[in-house]
Amino acid sequence: MEEQNKIKRISIISTIIYVAILASIVLILRLQSGADAADVTLAWNAKQGPDIAGYRIYYGNGPGDYDKTITIDTIGISEYLIEGLGKSDWYFAVTAFNSLGIESDYSEEVYKAIN
Protein backbone atom coordinates (compact mmCIF):
# COMPACT_ATOMS: atom_id res chain seq x y z
CA MET A 1 0.00 0.00 0.00
CA GLU A 2 2.84 2.40 0.85
CA GLU A 3 4.50 1.69 -2.51
CA GLN A 4 1.23 2.46 -4.33
CA ASN A 5 0.93 5.77 -2.49
CA LYS A 6 4.51 6.66 -3.42
CA ILE A 7 3.87 5.86 -7.09
CA LYS A 8 0.64 7.87 -7.00
CA ARG A 9 2.46 10.84 -5.42
CA ILE A 10 5.19 10.74 -8.06
CA SER A 11 2.55 10.56 -10.79
CA ILE A 12 0.69 13.57 -9.37
CA ILE A 13 3.91 15.58 -9.05
CA SER A 14 4.88 14.73 -12.63
CA THR A 15 1.47 15.82 -13.88
CA ILE A 16 1.64 19.09 -11.96
CA ILE A 17 5.10 19.86 -13.33
CA TYR A 18 4.03 19.00 -16.87
CA VAL A 19 0.91 21.14 -16.70
CA ALA A 20 2.79 24.05 -15.13
CA ILE A 21 5.37 24.10 -17.89
CA LEU A 22 3.04 23.34 -20.79
CA ALA A 23 0.47 25.90 -19.73
CA SER A 24 2.91 28.67 -18.95
CA ILE A 25 5.74 28.54 -21.47
CA VAL A 26 6.39 31.94 -22.97
CA LEU A 27 9.17 32.56 -25.41
CA ILE A 28 11.08 35.73 -25.95
CA LEU A 29 13.59 35.49 -28.75
CA ARG A 30 15.98 38.38 -28.97
CA LEU A 31 18.83 38.40 -31.42
CA GLN A 32 21.96 40.31 -30.61
CA SER A 33 24.17 41.01 -33.57
CA GLY A 34 27.33 39.07 -34.08
CA ALA A 35 29.48 38.19 -37.07
CA ASP A 36 28.46 34.55 -37.41
CA ALA A 37 26.59 34.01 -34.17
CA ALA A 38 23.55 35.27 -32.33
CA ASP A 39 22.25 35.20 -28.78
CA VAL A 40 18.74 34.08 -27.91
CA THR A 41 16.90 34.76 -24.66
CA LEU A 42 14.29 32.22 -23.62
CA ALA A 43 11.77 33.25 -20.98
CA TRP A 44 8.94 31.41 -19.30
CA ASN A 45 6.58 31.77 -16.36
CA ALA A 46 8.43 30.07 -13.52
CA LYS A 47 5.96 27.99 -11.56
CA GLN A 48 6.56 27.33 -7.88
CA GLY A 49 4.83 24.03 -7.35
CA PRO A 50 5.28 21.15 -5.00
CA ASP A 51 8.83 19.94 -5.28
CA ILE A 52 9.91 21.80 -8.44
CA ALA A 53 13.72 21.81 -8.30
CA GLY A 54 14.61 23.41 -11.62
CA TYR A 55 14.28 23.51 -15.38
CA ARG A 56 16.05 22.13 -18.42
CA ILE A 57 16.32 23.88 -21.75
CA TYR A 58 16.69 21.60 -24.75
CA TYR A 59 17.66 22.90 -28.16
CA GLY A 60 18.95 21.79 -31.52
CA ASN A 61 18.69 22.24 -35.26
CA GLY A 62 15.66 20.07 -36.00
CA PRO A 63 12.12 19.79 -34.69
CA GLY A 64 12.20 17.54 -31.63
CA ASP A 65 15.91 16.84 -32.24
CA TYR A 66 17.63 18.43 -29.26
CA ASP A 67 21.33 17.70 -28.98
CA LYS A 68 22.09 20.45 -26.47
CA THR A 69 20.84 20.75 -22.88
CA ILE A 70 21.16 23.41 -20.21
CA THR A 71 20.15 22.56 -16.63
CA ILE A 72 18.96 25.38 -14.39
CA ASP A 73 18.81 24.12 -10.84
CA THR A 74 17.85 27.41 -9.26
CA ILE A 75 14.19 27.86 -8.39
CA GLY A 76 12.65 31.11 -9.57
CA ILE A 77 14.77 31.50 -12.70
CA SER A 78 12.47 32.30 -15.60
CA GLU A 79 14.84 33.57 -18.26
CA TYR A 80 18.05 32.30 -19.80
CA LEU A 81 20.40 33.75 -22.41
CA ILE A 82 21.89 31.25 -24.84
CA GLU A 83 24.92 32.81 -26.47
CA GLY A 84 26.79 32.17 -29.68
CA LEU A 85 24.20 30.29 -31.73
CA GLY A 86 25.31 29.82 -35.31
CA LYS A 87 23.33 30.62 -38.41
CA SER A 88 20.73 27.88 -38.61
CA ASP A 89 17.20 26.95 -37.69
CA TRP A 90 16.96 26.48 -33.91
CA TYR A 91 14.26 24.63 -31.98
CA PHE A 92 13.75 25.01 -28.22
CA ALA A 93 11.74 23.31 -25.48
CA VAL A 94 11.75 23.49 -21.68
CA THR A 95 11.04 20.89 -19.01
CA ALA A 96 10.75 21.09 -15.24
CA PHE A 97 12.12 18.53 -12.82
CA ASN A 98 11.59 17.78 -9.15
CA SER A 99 13.97 16.82 -6.36
CA LEU A 100 13.55 13.13 -7.22
CA GLY A 101 14.81 13.83 -10.73
CA ILE A 102 11.41 13.25 -12.31
CA GLU A 103 11.20 15.40 -15.40
CA SER A 104 8.10 16.73 -17.12
CA ASP A 105 7.36 16.29 -20.79
CA TYR A 106 8.71 18.94 -23.14
CA SER A 107 6.91 22.26 -23.30
CA GLU A 108 5.51 23.40 -26.58
CA GLU A 109 8.39 23.70 -29.02
CA VAL A 110 9.44 27.12 -30.28
CA TYR A 111 11.50 27.92 -33.34
CA LYS A 112 13.85 30.67 -34.45
CA ALA A 113 15.74 31.02 -37.73
CA ILE A 114 19.08 32.79 -37.38
CA ASN A 115 20.30 34.12 -40.70
pLDDT of residue 13: 59
Distance in angstroms (rounded) separating the CA atoms of residues 93 and 109? 5
Residue 38 CB contacts under 8 Å (≥ 6 apart), including other chains: 31, 32, 84, 85, 87, 114
How many whole angstroms from its chain centre is CA 111? 13
pLDDT of residue 46: 75
Record the pTM: 0.72
Does residue 46 come out as left (phi exceeding 0), alpha (psi in the -120 to 50 range) or beta? beta
pLDDT of residue 30: 47
Alpha-carbon torsion angle 70, 48, 108, 61, nearest 10: -10
CATH number at residue 8: 2.60.40.10
Q: pLDDT per residue over 82-100, tens digit each?
A: 999 999 999 999 988 888 8
User: Where in the sequence is the domain holding 12, given as residue range(s)?
Assistant: 2-114
pLDDT of residue 10: 58
Number of domains in the chain: 1
